[in-house]
Amino acid sequence: MKSRYSLGLTLLAGVAIGAFAMQGLHAQGSKPRVWVIAEIEPVAGAAMSAASLKEIRDEIAKAHGTALRTVRGRVVHLEGGDAPKRVAINEFPSMDDAMKFYNSDAWKKSAAERARTGKTIRRYAVEAEP
């Protein structure tokens, strides 16, 4: 009877150790997610063309990112200095993917139109904790 219990406990311990090992191996291969935030002061009456927005969003998707479409969303001040008029947030699976997009030809090509339609106050990338 005792051998049954010891065999059962041994099997249970082996499963637990294996589960922890798999979790550790899985965590080593994943990179922390990244959000790129841009605080923008829009130019009155100016807007980016639909074609440019589509090209930028397509390029974000190529870099495995997601445009969260916050530019025309409401910004509510909660604390600290004044809130920006507009905020653009893009999500990427890693900092490498974010940098791939921000170094892309499509992003560089849109610089003149972006400057004409809004002044970027700040743009930064935030990486999640591992």
| pLDDT tens digit sequence for 49-61 | 999 999 999 999 9
Q: Which residues contact 101 (CB under 8 A, 6 or more apart)?
A: 59, 60, 62, 63, 65, 90, 92, 107
Q: Is the pTM value of this prediction over 0.75? A: no
Q: Which two tokens stand for residue 106?
A: 């499509």
User: 95-102 vs 50-62: helix axis angle to the nearest 10?
Assistant: 140
- Sign of the torsion formed by the C-alpha atoms of 116, 119, 125 and 128: negative
The one-letter code for the residue type at 78 is L
What is the overall mean pLDDT for the chain? 87
Domain boundaries, the chain: 1-30, 34-127
Q: DSSP letter for 93, please.
A: S
For the domain bounded by 34-127, which CATH number is listed? Answer: 3.30.70.100
What pLDDT does residue 63 have?
96
pLDDT in tens, 38-83: 999 999 999 999 999 999 999 999 999 999 999 989 999 999 999 9
